[in-house]
Amino acid sequence: MNIVSTLRKSRLTVAAASVAVFALALSACGNGSGSGGGGQDKAKAAGITLVKPGKLTVCTHLSYKPFEYKEGTKVVGFDVDLLDLLAKDLGVEQEVISIEWAQVTSGAAYDAKKCDMGMGAMTITASRKAAIGISDPYMDATQVLLVKKGAPYKSLEDLKGKKVGVQADTTGKDYATAASKKIGFEVVVFNDLALQTNNVKSGRVDAAINDNGALFNFVQANPDTEVTAEFNTGEQYGFAAKKDDPSGTKLLTRFNGLLTKAKSDGTYNQLFKKWFGVEPKK
């Protein structure tokens, strides 16, 4: 499905693991009814051992609006709402922790027991599937080109000799890097989405490539920018957990069942419209 017209979707690639940065942004976002023993008992009954009793601890790299970002003291977004379905089913609360993205996609975060699952509009790739457990796809995605409104860049070929911003450890970075070798533009890497997009606005880079969902959302709030091209990369998003681990596997299986139910009873469409303004294309 696409979010809007044809333009919209995707992100990210693996990268080498790394040093533990564990930046902050804790936020209880779930509405789980259990807050300790009951929820933990329910998880245990399902054969799932959570890293924190009474919590479904989820790692991501903030901010990636509208999928996961802070609103006041809480982390909210489409991904958060989807994983809240799992938290509620287990009778626990969801707690979101923001860390380096490479730890989420490489599996280092789960090996270190920092979290039970990972989210972040994460594109399912072969290299990620080799390193981590991944849920069924929950959304299609693609890459798009962001420029300052009125800029003469309608394709990557128009950017020969120019600077194109990308986000570290993303499929957008991979796509731009491959294209730069053929076309001849400079790839400038930023650590997060906010840095990337703000450097388009400031003119430090001439354009940026990232997921359609995130960049269309950015354009809505920043009318001095626009998306001028979509690259049909055929990506799909999934949630992550520890690979070949009993609890991780059961969490993913349980979520897959909840996702199927949400798509059949209308819950998925309601959440999609809540965060993207339209229902998903069929």
For the stretch 134-175, pLDDT in tens is 999 999 999 999 999 999 999 999 999 999 999 998 999 999
Q: Letter for the amino acid at 197?
A: T
Q: What is the pLDDT of residue 32?
A: 38
Model confidence at 30, pLDDT cuts 50, 70, 90, reads very low
- What are the residue ranges of helices labelled H in 168-245? 171-183, 193-202, 212-221
How far apart are the C-alpha atoms of 105 and 17, rounded to whole Å? 9
The residue-averaged pLDDT of 175-199 equals 96
The string of pLDDT tens digits covering residues 171-181 is: 999 999 999 99
pLDDT band at 38 (very low <50, low <70, confident <90, very high): low
Q: Give pLDDT tens digits for 9-25.
A: 444 443 333 333 334 44
Regarding pTM above 0.95, the answer is no
Pairing type for strands 163-167 and 186-190 reads parallel
Provide the greatest CA pair distance for the chain: 60
pLDDT band at 40 (very low <50, low <70, confident <90, very high): low
37-45 vs 78-90: helix axis angle to the nearest 10?
80
Instruction: Give the pair of three-digit tokens for residue 178.
Output: 């491959």
How confident is the model over 26-33, as a mean pLDDT? 41
CB 228 within 8 A of CB 145: yes
- Dig out the tokens for 110 from the structure: 């789960």
**206-246: pLDDT as tens digits:** 999 999 999 999 999 999 999 999 999 999 999 999 999 99
Q: Tell me which amino acid residue 255 is.
A: F
What phi and psi, each to the nearest 5 degrees, are found at residue 219?
Answer: -65, -35
CA distance 96 to 76: 9
Q: Is the peptide bond before 223 cis (omega within 30 degrees of 0)?
A: no
209's enclosing H/E stretch is strand 207-211
